[in-house]
Amino acid sequence: MHGAEPLPHPSLPSPRVDLLLVADMVAANSRVLDVGCGDGTLLRLLSEEKGVDARGIELSQRGVNDCVAKGLSVIQGDADTDLAAYPDDAFDYVILSQTIQATRQPRKVLENMLRIGRHAIVSFPNFGHWRIRLQVAIGGHMPRTRNLPAAWYETPNIHFCTIRDFVALVQEVDARIERCVALDRFGTPLASTAPWIWNMFGEQGVFRLTRKP
């Protein structure tokens, strides 16, 4: 296969419905850096549907090779070490989807995102969800869910947080929440906006942040 055949439309596996929400938070024709871009699903969605100048960073060699072979601008790298090289305000949006819990220094990563992008968009699994609380409280073991199936000794996720914890970090780094959504286990946004409801019933949080002026 060679030549510029039209690319098949990216299909979104159900656990990544957060990507559609993330994409919805991005303005058309903007400049985006997707940190932890995986196989490039979001990058393609953004560049094909919204005319975005989309670039990515991915840790796994397999993911990077797949992306570059598809013609996406992706570098092999790591959120903890490779964001520092980017200049201030290089992008309109810096996205970190389902990755913050796997970074060594989430606070530093978030600060770098807010430095190199005018907006930062973060989606993450909520460790405050009632099923997870129940597994720890009643089951007495580290939680394993459909979306987080790895055992504690082999999970790449080393810095889990709850939605409440994340909001506290946002205040700590002096950022402002522009938009936020909590998703239930089916990827549907929760109707309620009460913080305790989110923290108890949201499986994922999706936040768009910006620096305070």
What is the C-alpha to C-alpha distance for residues 53 and 28, in angstroms, rounded to an integer? 9
One of 10, 50, 53, 80 touching another protein (CB under 8 A):
53
Q: Does 76 bind another protein (CB under 8 A)?
A: yes
The residue range among 85-93, 100-108, 145-153, 184-192 that interacts with another protein, by the rule CB under 8 A, is 85-93
- Could you say whether residue 32 binds another protein (CB under 8 A)? no
Please count the other Cβ atoms lying within 10 Å of the Cβ belonging to residue 55: 20
Q: Is 68 in the site for another protein (CB under 8 A)?
A: yes
Site for another protein contains 87 (CB under 8 A): yes
Determine how β-strand 204-211 pairs with β-strand 175-183: antiparallel
Cα 79 to Cα 108, 187, 191: the distances in Å are 9, 26, 33
Strand 53-58 relative to strand 31-35: parallel, antiparallel, unpaired? Answer: parallel
Task: Single out the segment in contact with another protein by CB under 8 A; choices: 64-72, 106-114, 117-125, 169-177.
Answer: 64-72
CA distance 137 to 201: 16
Binding of another protein by 94 (CB under 8 A): no
Contact between 116 and 96 (Cβ < 8 Å): no
Nearest partner of 116 among 100, 142, 143, 96, judged by Cα: 96
8 binds another protein (CB under 8 A): no
Among 64, 79, 96, 170, binds another protein (CB under 8 A): 64
Which of 23, 74, 148, 175: binder of another protein (CB under 8 A)?
74
Q: Is 85 in the site for another protein (CB under 8 A)?
A: yes
What is the CB-side half-sphere exposure of residue 26 using CA atoms within 13 A?
A: 34
Q: Where are the beta strands (DSSP E) in 52-164?
A: 53-58, 73-76, 91-97, 117-125
By CB under 8 A, tell whether 82 contacts another protein: yes
Render the burial of 151-162: b for 16+ CB within 10 Å, e for the rest. Answer: eeeeeebebbbb
Q: Which of 12, 15, 17, 75 binds another protein (CB under 8 A)?
A: 75
User: Is residue 151 within the footprint of another protein (CB under 8 A)?
Assistant: no
Q: Is 5 in the site for another protein (CB under 8 A)?
A: yes
CB of 82 to another protein, least distance (A): 7
Q: Does 113 bind another protein (CB under 8 A)?
A: no
**Chain positions contacting another protein, by CB under 8 A:** 2-5, 53, 55, 61, 64-65, 67-77, 82, 85-87, 90
